[in-house]
Structure 1
Amino acid sequence: MSTRANRAPVLGLRENAAQFALLVAVNALVGGMVGQQQTVLPLLAESTFALTGYAYIFTYVAAFGVTKAIANYFAGTFSDRYGRKPVLLVGWLFAIPVPIMLIVAPNWAWVVAANVLLGINQGLTWSTTVVMKIDLVGPDRRGLAMGLNEAAGYGAVAITSLLAGYLAEQHGLRPAPFLLGLAYLALALLLSGAFVHETRDHAHLEATQHTESEHGHLGADLTSRQIAIQTSLKEPALASASHTGLVNNLNFGLSWGLFPLLFATADLTTSQIGLLFALYPGVWGAGQLITGGLSDRIGRKHLITTGMAVQATALAVIAASSGFTGWAVGTALLGAGTAMVYPTLLAVIGDIAHPLWRGRAVGVYRVWRDLGYAVGAILGGVVADLIDLRAAVWAAAAASACTAVLVAIRMYETHQPLRHHD
């Protein structure tokens, strides 16, 4: 195994198929750590801890989003400085207490604290697997690589949400659903520690082959501050991607805390709520198997614009519905719109960022994107408390529609369709 790990790096999906597949599996376990709690925690808040204020219930989503956003930044910085694999392993160490804390939590503060640790875990591990896959595949297949990565992660969120809902209905809200997290954690530590190889040398190899893009190149020697400014504000494609990512995860954060409570107003069973919630990341995850590679062939911009418009439509359907069928249509449509956007935004970052500061650019983008969890939780909680649950969904629909318009105006196309494979 050491011979394989130390041999000269080669770029390409086919050339790195074994490591790529292993990283896909690891990212599925990352997603599963979130899925174990998504269906269960809002119900636990009401039934076990007697919490009724929506803003208070959503504190765990906000805590998760803020800590994940911060961890994303450090994941990018440390992976460029020290390598990808050490960051991945440290990320998994932060997850060790999470399932246990959720099982034994005597009050809601323990749940919030567990989600702080989970946010650090998700930021370090998910960011690192993203960067590692981009390292391995090289410039031509970034969209496909991100589609496979995000499909694995959010497919696992969906499947685990469904399993957790079933276990909660059959065996109670605790401890059964969180035993899934313990199993995922043990397997992830084994795979990441024993079988995953470092990929930073692949990025260095790509840097030696890197050429100027037709849109102009930002250069290889930007400081971390300059990278943050370009990715957040100045560079039109990078900044548009960061803004769109925030609104996309605003929708996800709002759905995480709000959808189970909205669905419960129709007296649905726990397993039905779990199925409705699983539809969103399920369609999202499966759709990325198509949309990631599609962006390599047709370009990025139109998929992102269309995807945000579809999300706005889906949220309007959910807000206007009051039963299982309408909500199922809306959540499936929301997943389809998200599938168009999610891997494509990451591919945009890979298109523009120089290989030598790619990790930091991905980290800054993911800071903005994952702050959307907190913004969605706060927005959803405040609007739901002031007006009602449906008003919070309408607010998210409006934000998504505005984002579609802004992307259409500001973002340029960052990737030309594949030519040398025609």
Structure 2
Amino acid sequence: MRVDRNLLLLFAHGLRADVIGDTKAWPLRTPHLEQLAEGGLRVVAGSACPQAQGGMASLLTGLHARQYDSTANAAREQASHSFAHWLTEANYHVAGVGHVGPIRSALDESVLVENVAVVEPAHCAYWTMARGRGLTDALSDQRRRRLRSGPFDPHRLLLEPEEDVDGFIGQQAALMLERMPDDRPWALIVVFTGPGNDLPPPPLYADVVSAAAVKSPFVPVDLRTLDALGEPSYPRSMLQRLEPTAIGRLRADYLGRVSLLDYTVAQLRKALHARTDAGRTWTLATADHGHLLGEHGLIGAQSFLSPAVEVPLLLVPPTNRNHELNQVSVDGLVSTIDVAPTVAALACTDLPPCRIGRSLVPMLRGQTMPAGDQLANLSEFHDRLMLETERFKAVFNRANRACLGLYDLFNDPNEKHNLVDRPDAAKLLDPLRLRLADVLLPLRCATG
């Protein structure tokens, strides 16, 4: 079957589901993300792993963390099992821009940007640009402070938007989009380092949201329940020193980076609409995991709290097909492992074995998704595993199978009350353990 669908795939690190402006969860406008969302399917997806490397690996491969043993092997699995490889085999021209190092060997061309945790990256297009503008010393100092203090004591630089790492990625992606071939299908994979990269936004976006407007009464982290929630991304001493003003500044910086991402989406949409093949180009946008901004006194991603594991997922057909869309009502659970099967369906490629995710394309036609093996959302990192059903969330210790946390999402959406020690907890846990067994069984298949 001849396939003529082009694919623009936009992935971000640490983008929460509630930061798109029309959710009205924050005083932030994101008109370009909102416009993109209006053109197709929009769902909230659960991250398969709330950890930077493992989360992106699952997103790009459709595999759960346990299917590649551990997040230590995530980079290898992205290179050998990512959908970039499937697309190349399907005669796609596959290009990548941004944090695409793990899948670079599967790409026809790329503009590589290294992880922001690397102080002086050796092979990084962003660093080459910075060297030409005399910015490397300042950026090195900023990244050293980031490694030492995270987002709590940022080193703010006078950067233009295109001199910021994600602004640079957006600019380079727009240029790459302009030179995609027009005689064969193409896929452009863009991976941004933020907004959860713990860097302050460039000055133009620093005050998009007032820090005073987003500070709120702060509840210090309860170290007694921390094991049930996850692992802190930063030393506990830093978390215990947080106060409302600092939380407001952290949130304002994060939202400023979201606004920068919204601007890059506008650049990419403008470049796409200038192409003659825009009428056969599909766009998919999502993130590897969310980001905590003071919830339960925590900052970062390594948690199973909803802000850390819920991400937006947008699937948008070409503009000339939007009139065919019905109002979509999503019934059921969606996971980031559904992204790879969706890409395979759009490219009409066979889905490799051991993927239990489902294509989301039928949702665009208002069809109910088949239950299949996706009886619940599964998320996992280190020695913790989370099962989320339509109503309950349970967190288990993988080693001893003990339940660390049990939350009723219907009556307690902010997950403040751990029910695991209640007398009737066993009645709730028994059916959840059975469902967990049903979800884990298909994952026993080796990746091959």
Query: TM-score, normalised on structure 2?
Result: 0.25
Identify the structure with bigger relative contact order (alpha carbons < 8 Å, sequence gap 6+).
1
Normalising by structure 1, we get a TM-score of 0.26
Which structure has the highest strand share of the two?
A: 2
- Return the structure number with greater helix share: 1
